[in-house]
Amino acid sequence: MKKSKVSSSWQYAGWFGLAIVLGLVNGLYPTEPGLTTARFLSDVFVRLFKFISVPIIAVTICYTIARLGSARTQKALWKRTLGYTLSTTLLAAGVGAALYYFFTPANVTAAPAADAGLAAQKGYLDYFVSVVPDNPLAPLVQGNVLSVLIIAIAVGIAIRFIKEAQPRATILNLLGAIQSVLFSLVGVLIRILPLGIFGFTSICTRDFAGGVALNGLGHYFGLVVASNLLQGVVVLPLFLLVRKINPWKTARNMSKALLVAFFSKSSAGTLPVTMACAEQNNKVHPTVSRFVLPICTTINMNGCASFILITVVYLMQNNGAAITIPTLLTWVLIATVAAIGNAGVPMGCYFLAASLLSSMNVPIQLLGIILPFYTVLDMVETSLNVWSDSCVATLVNKDLGKDLPKEN
């Protein structure tokens, strides 16, 4: 049985690799039928990820909180999840600030006219207002992840306070059954995932093959990528090493989720794959993964914190603001809070940075130049976000292993 499982894993890895190779060929030497097929598969899988991720967040958070055995376990889960999330996000913003201070990019001499669509984005405070749900179904329909998270937490806590045993058991059984259905769907989605990887790889390769003019933004671009790589390759592994966890093994076990995150550019959409890899490969307890990962998907945005800080400070600099150490330290805090309030969807950080700048009356013309190659940044950021989520779940699992109930 064990040998068969290993053989199956290698076979799946082979299909995964073949999908990437075929996608690269299809993107570099495109044909109309090939690109049409790739776009179709890419769009279908993105929609499937979005379709299943919001219900999973709602059900798993609600069900996990409702079933938490003791107040001690519940508090420990919250404490460690928030502690690791805040510390890693704060460090991500700090890494970005340090790199910016030591390798300040040059200004861009000219910029195009402001993009009216970006200027019309909501102010930053409006994002927090929109999180507060005014309709129980609207967040599910609109895919407002933070609102869904708030509702799920509130309902899960409410279920814990139901005194009558039978109604409480009935609700828990229903949630458990729905969760089983959702994870069955996730299993099917993972089995056919190489088709989606072919589509994602083809489209991305085709876009990159067109070339991107970096001009004076090359230094800025390099800072964002370097900040994300430093956080992912040095800072987060240090967290794992302190708890005597092998970073390389953890990353290898999460490789499917990291690949999906890279190509889909959505940490929320990648959530089903992230949870499956954490539980099946990294042996994270379901109580931890189904509580920590949905929360981290919405508030643990390491890549977003770094991008927001470097982008906002760079545009301020280009518009005549003096960038001092106090300015950078202030933006470390602002970027951390902003990243926590950002939803894990494609281009979420981009529009959030635009809203922050607009609220300060800073011209956002340069965002129009950044946009053509933001796809590359978004892919790197999303991979870092999912890697950070995986690290937090693994760390919490290590901390609370002895206190968690045995799996049935």
Which residue range is the domain that position 207 belongs to?
A: 2-403
Average pLDDT over residues 84-105: 92
What pLDDT is recorded for position 227? 95
Is the pLDDT confidence value at 89 over 60? yes
Question: From CA 219, how far away is CA 316, in angstroms rounded?
Answer: 16
Average pLDDT over residues 218-237: 92
- The pLDDT-based confidence of 212 (bands split at 50, 70, 90) is very low
The answer to the question of residue 378 being in a domain is yes
The answer to the question of residue 46 being in a domain is yes
3-class state of residue 395 by DSSP:
helix
Name residues whose C-beta falls within 8 Å of residue 328's C-beta, 6 or more positions apart in sequence.
Answer: 97, 100, 101, 309, 313
Is the pLDDT confidence value at 91 over 90? yes
CA 332 to chain centroid, in Å, comes to: 19
The answer to the question of residue 408 being in a domain is no
3-class state of residue 333 by DSSP:
helix
Task: Indicate if the alpha-carbon torsion angle 200, 388, 246, 270 is positive or negative.
Answer: negative
Question: From CA 261, how far away is CA 274, in angstroms rounded?
Answer: 9
Domain of residue 294, CATH code: 1.10.3860.10
Alpha helices in 116-231 (DSSP H): 116-119, 124-131, 138-142, 145-160, 165-191, 193-209, 218-230
Task: Give the length of the chain.
Answer: 408
Name residues whose C-beta falls within 8 Å of residue 123's C-beta, 6 or more positions apart in sequence.
Answer: 355, 358, 359
Is the pLDDT confidence value at 276 over 70? yes
- The pLDDT-based confidence of 93 (bands split at 50, 70, 90) is very high
The answer to the question of residue 36 being in a domain is yes
Output the CA angle 193-138-121, nearest 5 degrees: 85
Average pLDDT over residues 388-403: 88
Calculate the average pLDDT of the chain: 79
Q: Are 196 and 45 in contact (CB under 8 A)?
A: yes
CA dihedral 186, 378, 340, 229 (to 10 degrees): 100
Express as a percent the part of the chain with pLDDT over 70.
Answer: 78
The answer to the question of residue 143 being in a domain is yes
What pLDDT is recorded for position 3? 46
pLDDT in tens, 154-209: 888 898 888 888 888 899 899 889 888 887 887 787 788 788 888 878 877 776 66
| Number of domains comprising the chain | 1
